[in-house]
Amino acid sequence: MMDGALTSERPRPGADTSTVHSYSVRICHWINVVACAYLLLSGVHIFLDFPELYWGNTGYRGYPAAFRLEDWGLSWDEAGALGDRRWGRNYHFTFAWVFLLNGLVYVGWNLYSTHFRNRMLPARDELTVAHLRTELRDHLRWRSHTRNCVGSYGTLQKTSYLILIFVFVPLMILTGIAQSPGFTAAMPALLDLFGGRQSARTLHTIGTVALVLFVAVHLLEIAAAGFFNQIRSMITGKSTVSIHSGTRK
C-alpha cells in the first residue's frame, strides 16, 4: 500500500530501487519518533511548572538559580499556566518506558544482525584526517554523501549516530533517573556522578536542547539528501538509486 503510493512519485530515467533500511530499523525508528515527541512535549510541560534550574543537590524558589525563565521574559505564573505537570509526568514516564524498551530492542536486534558492525562502525580508511576533511568540506558545501551513495552512511553520520546511541541517550536516561528519590535510594552513585539531583535536572534540560538541535540537523541532512526519497526509504525500506551512484562528484 504505502510502497505503491509512494513509488508513484515518478522515478527518474535510469533510476532503480534498492532496500536500504531493514524492518527492525524502520519499526524502531518510527516508534522512537513518537516516543521522543511525547518525551519532549511532556518534558516541556514538567519544566514549565517549575521553570528554574539549579546546581548541586539543593534548589527551590528563592535559592540561587543557574537559570530562571523569569529572566527571559516569562513569569512564574505565566509559565505555570502553560505547563501541566500532571499530564507531563504521566506521559513522560510512560514514553520513557516506550523509548527505553524500543531502544533495547533496536540495539539488541542490530547487534545480533550485525547491522552495527556492517553499517555503523566507521571503516579504518574512513578515519583518516584526509578523508574526514574531505567529508566535512563536502558537508559544509551542502553536498550530501547519502545523495551520491545510497545505502551507506558517511563517516560523520556514523560517528554522530554512535555517540548519540551509546553516550548521549544513556546520559539522558541516567540524568533522568538521578532525579528520582526511589532510583537514587537504590543507586546513590547517580547523585555523585552528576553532582546532585538539581545538577542532574539541569543537565537533563541541557541534553534536551542538544537533542532538539540534533534532530534539527538530522532533518536538514534529510532535506539535503532528498527529502521524499529519504522518508520513503525509512517507511518502505526502498530507495531510488542513481545508476551513477558509484561515482562521487
Partner 1 sequence: MSKRISRRAWLTSVPALGGLLVTGCSRETFVPPRVRGGLIGAADVLTMSTNRLLLSGQQLAREYARSDVADPFPTWNQTNPRNEEYQRHLSEGFRNWRLPITGLVERPRELSLDEIRSLPARTQITAHVCEQGWSAIGEWTGAPLQRVLEAAGGVTAAARYVVIDTFDRWYEGYDLFEVEHPQTILAYGLNGRALPRGNGAPLRLRVERQCGYKNLKFLRSIQVVDSMAGFGRGTGGINSDFGFHWFAGV
| Nearest distance in Å: CB 127, partner 1 | 39
In the complex with partner 1, the residue whose CB is nearer, 98 or 120, is: 98
Q: How far is the C-alpha of 105 from the C-alpha of 168, rounded, in Å?
A: 18
Residue 135 near residue 152 (C-beta atoms within 8 A): no
Q: Is 86 in the site for partner 1 (CB under 8 A)?
A: yes
C-alpha cell at 165: 546511541
C-alpha cell at 192: 555523585
Phi first, then psi, for residue 120 (nearest 5°) are -100, -30
Q: How far is the C-alpha of 156 from the C-alpha of 34, rounded, in Å?
A: 25
Q: Is 21 in the site for partner 1 (CB under 8 A)?
A: no
Binding mask 181-220 for partner 1 (x = CB under 8 A): xxxxxxxx--x-----xx--x-------------------
DSSP 125: G
C-alpha cell at 86: 500532571
Q: How far is the C-alpha of 198 from the C-alpha of 192, rounded, in Å?
A: 12
Q: Is 245 in the site for partner 1 (CB under 8 A)?
A: no
Q: Is 76 in the site for partner 1 (CB under 8 A)?
A: no
Q: Is 62 in the site for partner 1 (CB under 8 A)?
A: yes
Applying CB under 8 A, among 23, 30, 60, 228 the residue interacting with partner 1 is 60
Binding site for partner 1 (CB under 8 A): 46-47, 49-50, 52, 57-63, 85-86, 89-91, 93-94, 96-98, 177, 179-188, 191, 197-198, 201
